Amino acid sequence: MNLMEWVQATLPELLCDLNQPATASEIASLENKLGVELPERLKAMYLEHNGQKDEINTGLFYGLNFLPLNRVYEEWCSWAEIIDSQGEEGMKELSMFSTSHVPGFIKEVYANKKWVPFAHDWAGNYLGLDFDPAENGTVGQVINFGRDEDEKFVIAKSFSEFMQ
């Protein structure tokens, strides 16, 4: 069963909330702005649906809404602005309670410019891709992060694994 078949069977109300497809050039533009290459599986999802319209309270990923490409960039910019405005000392203070559920997999910081959100909960928390993991992590691992996410978890070693 593919994702859309699963959505049709379990969350049919979500089908009307999905956006039209993104274009390959829109995906490439985002990758260029972020300085990362998104996983092929995530790109394929964006080529089917450019996230959700956010008109309903049902999200595609554990109840979290699938971010359209423009919102991925907006949310990423918000976190980059926090990092830049806080500076090194401010980030140390903000990171005081940050942990990796399994030490050594996720950098124990409040925010990182190499964390790219793809789903959100409307309260400043995200599922995202970690392109700057700690020494035992995997580039592109799926993690939780955000305003209320002091303890970070590796949810999956890759986006493909996450989708399985």
If we measure between CA atoms, which residue out of 69, 34, 65, 31 comes closest to residue 48? Answer: 69
Strand partners, 116: 129
C-beta of residue 20 within 8 angstroms of C-beta of residue 26: no
The whole-number pLDDT of residue 44 equals 96
Q: Which residue has the tokens 């990092």?
A: 83
The whole-number pLDDT of residue 65 equals 96
pLDDT at 6 over 90: no
**Tens-digit pLDDT profile for residues 55-80:** 988 899 999 999 999 999 999 999 99
Ordered alpha helix ranges (H), the chain: 3-10, 12-15, 24-34, 40-48, 69-94, 159-163
DSSP state of 2: -
The whole-number pLDDT of residue 145 equals 98
**Tens-digit pLDDT profile for residues 114-125:** 999 999 999 999
If we measure between CA atoms, which residue out of 111, 139, 116 comes closest to residue 34? Answer: 116
The confidence band for 43, taking pLDDT boundaries of 50, 70 and 90, is: very high
**Tens-digit pLDDT profile for residues 68-114:** 999 999 999 999 999 999 999 999 999 999 999 999 999 999 999 99
Average pLDDT over residues 30-55: 96
Phi, psi dihedral angles at 4 (to 5 degrees): -70, -35
pTM of the model: 0.94
The confidence band for 51, taking pLDDT boundaries of 50, 70 and 90, is: very high
13 in the Ramachandran plot: left (φ > 0), alpha (ψ -120 to 50) or beta? alpha
Domains parsed from the chain with CATH numbers: 3-163 (3.40.1580.10)
Mean pLDDT, the chain, whole residue set? 95
